C-alpha cells in the first residue's frame, strides 16, 4: 500500500493570546499575538493530514511561509507509509527540514502521524506505540495577580480537579519578595499534596540568587511540593546541576530541552529532576518520544507542555502524553476562543482532567469556513 503526498496547502493565521485562567504559563510573553500556520497535507488517496507551526521567536508569518513553501517541495511525491520505498520517504524529507527549523519539521511530522493514523484506522497514539492512559491529569496556570488573589485562584483550580499549579516569576518588574509572598500564599491555601511549579525563565544569573530566593521556604514543610522551572540559562548545565545539589526543591528544565542530544547532555550532567516537553521545540513527535525514552532511563520526570496553539496542536501533545508511562500533569491551555477555533474533537477538557478520544489520527475535524475566515495576508 502506498499513500503519496500530492499537495500541501498553508493557512497563515494570527493567534491572539490573552491571559486567561487555566492557560499555560509558558505562552505569556511580551508578545500579544503569535503567528500560526496550519499545514494541510493532501494525498493521492484523498486522505488529508493536518499540522501546525507557531513562531514564538519574533519571525513573521511571511518568514514562516517562505520556509514552509521551500520545505514542502521535498515532500511532494513522498510515501507516508512505506519507509522502504524507492526514493526519498516522507520521514527522510522531514529529517532534512527539521535541521533547518525544528518547528517546521514538527508541523509536517504532525500531519504525517495524523495521516498514518487515518490510513490505518487507529489513533495517533497507536502509531506512536500505544497509550498507557487516555485520561490525563492537568495543571493550571495562576494569573499574575496579588498573593491573596492568587491564593483564591489556587483554591478554585484545585476544587475544579486540577492536580498541579503553575505560576510565572518571569516579570522583571516584580521583586523577589513579591514572588516569594505569592508562592507562600498559594502553598498556604492548597492541600499538601498539590504541586506548585514556579516558572522563572532565566530570571536569575547564578545558583546563589536562586538559593537565596528559596531559602525562606527551608524552614517550612512546603518544599517537597515546589519546583522551579528554568532558573538559569539553558546552556548552564553545570550551574543547574549545582542547583539540584543545594536546593530542596525540584529543578525543571524547558528551554534546555531542544533535542534528544541536548537531553542526553542534561541527563549526563544530572541537571534536571523534571522536564517540560514541547513538540515544536524539539522537532516533532518522534524526537519527543526519543527524549521521553532518555528521561525514562535517567529517572527524570516528564510533563508535556503545549502553551499555545489550536486544538490540533493541543491534541498532538495529548497523544504524546498518553504514551508516557508515568506522565506528570499535562500543561496545556486552549488559546483560541470557541468561535475562532477551526478544529473540533480530539479530546475533552473535564475540569482538571483531559480525556483523549479514540478517533483515527489526531482525531480532530476541520471547519474550513472558520479557518478561511481567519487567514491573513503574508
State the total domains in the chain: 2
Predicted confidence band of residue 47 (pLDDT cuts 50, 70, 90): very high
The verdict on residue 170 lying in a domain is yes
E strands present in the chain: 5-16, 33-43, 48-55, 135-137, 139-141, 164-168, 195-199, 226-229, 250-253, 274-277, 301-306, 331-332, 343-345, 347-350, 353-356, 364-366
pTM here? 0.89
Q: Which three cell numbers stand for residue 144?
A: 499574575
Residue 182's H or E segment, with its range, is helix 176-189
Predicted confidence band of residue 59 (pLDDT cuts 50, 70, 90): low
Do 111 and 154 have their domain in common?
no
- Range among 47-61, 93-107, 113-127, 343-357 with highest mean pLDDT value: 113-127
In angstroms, rounded to a whole number, what is the distance separating the alpha carbons of residues 284 and 342? 22
Q: Which CATH number does the domain housing residue 140 bear?
A: 3.20.20.120
Does residue 314 surpass a pLDDT of 70? yes
Do 41 and 84 have their domain in common?
yes
Do 46 and 191 have their domain in common?
no
Does residue 22 surpass a pLDDT of 90? no
% the chain with pLDDT above 90:
44
How far are the Cα atoms of 38, 244, 334, 353 from residue 18, in angstroms, in the given order? Answer: 20, 34, 10, 22
Q: Which CATH number does the domain housing residue 23 bear?
A: 3.30.390.10
- Three-class secondary structure assignment of 104-162: HHHHHHHHHHHHHHHHHCCEHHHHCCCCCCCEEEEEEECCCCCHHHHHHHHHHHHHCCC
Does residue 241 surpass a pLDDT of 50? yes
How much is the average pLDDT of 39-50?
95
pLDDT in tens, 132-180: 999 999 998 888 888 899 999 999 999 999 988 988 775 556 666 777 7
pLDDT of residue 256: 82
- DSSP code for 216: G
Predicted confidence band of residue 338 (pLDDT cuts 50, 70, 90): low
pLDDT of residue 30: 39
How much is the average pLDDT of 244-265?
89
Beta pairing partners, 141: 166
Do 276 and 362 have their domain in common?
yes
The verdict on residue 361 lying in a domain is yes
Measured in residues, the chain has a length of: 378
Do 86 and 158 have their domain in common?
no
Does residue 26 surpass a pLDDT of 60? no
The verdict on residue 98 lying in a domain is yes
Do 176 and 320 have their domain in common?
yes
168 backbone dihedrals φ, ψ, rounded to 5°: -100, 135
pLDDT of residue 130: 94
Question: Which segment of 77-81, 91-95, 103-107 scores lowest on mean pLDDT?
Answer: 91-95
Does residue 346 surpass a pLDDT of 70? yes
Do 73 and 139 have their domain in common?
no
Answer with the residue of higher pLDDT: 20 or 55. 55
Residue range of the domain that includes 253:
135-368
Do 279 and 209 have their domain in common?
yes
Does residue 87 surpass a pLDDT of 50? no
pLDDT of residue 249: 84
Do 281 and 344 have their domain in common?
yes
% the chain with pLDDT above 70:
82
Does residue 49 surpass a pLDDT of 80? yes
Answer with the residue of higher pLDDT: 16 or 247. 247
pLDDT in tens, 210-222: 777 776 655 555 5
Based on the number of CB atoms within 10 Å of its own CB, is 24 exposed (0-12), middle (13-18) or buried (19 or more)? buried
Answer with the residue of higher pLDDT: 141 or 24. 141
In angstroms, rounded to a whole number, what is the distance separating the alpha carbons of residues 320 and 287? 11
Does residue 339 surpass a pLDDT of 90? no
Do 236 and 151 have their domain in common?
yes
The verdict on residue 247 lying in a domain is yes
Residue 41 Cα to chain centre, angstroms: 22
Mean predicted lDDT score pLDDT of the chain: 83
Do 251 and 322 have their domain in common?
yes
The verdict on residue 24 lying in a domain is yes
Is residue 229 a contact partner of residue 199, using CB atoms and an 8 Å limit?
Answer: yes
Amino acid at each position: 500500500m502506498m499513500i503519496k503526498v500530492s499537495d500541501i496547502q498553508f493557512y497563515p493565521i494570527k493567534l491572539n493570546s490573552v491571559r486567561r485562567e487555566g492557560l499555560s504559563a509558558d505562552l505569556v510573553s511580551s508578545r500579544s499575538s503569535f503567528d500560526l500556520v496550519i499545514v494541510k497535507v493532501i494525498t493521492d488517496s484523498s486522505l488529508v493530514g493536518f499540522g501546525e507551526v507557531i513562531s514564538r521567536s519574533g519571525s513573521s508569518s511571511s518568514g514562516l511561509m517562505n520556509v514552509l513553501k521551500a520545505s514542502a517541495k521535498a515532500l511532494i511525491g513522498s510515501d507516508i507509509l512505506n519507509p522502504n520505498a524507492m526514493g526519498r520517504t516522507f520521514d527522510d524529507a522531514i529529517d532534512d527540514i527539521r535541521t533547518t527549523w525544528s518547528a517546521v519539521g514538527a508541523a509536517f511530522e504532525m500531519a504525517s502521524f495524523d495521516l498514518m493514523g487515518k490510513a490505518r484506522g487507529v489513533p495517533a497514539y497507536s502509531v506512536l506505540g500505544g497509550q498507557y492512559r487516555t485520561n490525563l491529569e492537568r495543571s493550571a496556570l495562576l494569573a499574575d495577580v496579588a498573593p491573596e488573589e492568587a491564593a483564591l485562584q489556587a483554591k478554585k483550580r484545585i476544587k475544579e480537579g486540577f492536580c498541579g499549579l503553575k505560576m510565572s516569576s518571569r516579570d522583571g518588574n516584580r521583586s523577589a519578595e513579591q514572588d516569594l509572598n505569592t508562592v507562600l500564599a498559594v502553598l498556604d491555601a492548597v492541600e499538601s499534596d498539590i504541586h506548585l511549579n514556579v516558572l522563572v525563565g532565566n530570571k536569575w544569573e547564578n545558583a546563589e540568587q536562586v538559593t537565596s530566593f528559596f531559602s525562606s521556604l527551608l524552614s517550612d514543610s512546603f518544599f517537597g511540593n515546589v519546583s522551579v522551572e528554568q532558573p538559569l540559562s539553558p546552556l548552564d548545565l553545570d550551574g543547574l546541576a549545582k542547583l539540584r545539589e543545594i536546593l530542596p526543591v525540584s529543578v525543571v528544565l524547558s528551554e534546555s530541552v531542544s533535542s534528544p542530544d541536548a537531553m542526553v547532555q542534561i541527563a549526563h550532567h544530572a541537571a534536571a529532576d523534571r522536564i517540560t516537553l514541547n513538540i515544536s521545540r524539539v522537532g516533532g513527535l518522534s524526537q519527543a518520544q526519543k527524549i521521553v525514552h532518555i528521561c525514562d532511563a535517567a529517572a527524570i520526570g516528564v510533563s508535556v507542555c503545549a502553551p499555545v496553539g489550536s486544538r490540533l496542536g493541543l491534541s498532538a501533545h495529548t497523544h504524546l502524553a498518553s504514551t508516557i508511562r508515568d506522565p506528570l500533569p499535562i500543561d496545556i491551555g486552549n488559546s483560541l476562543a470557541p468561535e475562532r477555533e477551526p478544529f473540533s474533537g480530539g479530546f475533552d477538557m473535564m475540569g482538571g482532567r483531559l480525556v483523549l478520544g479514540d478517533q483515527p489520527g489526531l482525531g480532530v475535524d476541520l471547519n474550513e469556513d472558520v479557518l478561511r475566515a481567519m487567514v491573513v495576508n503574508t
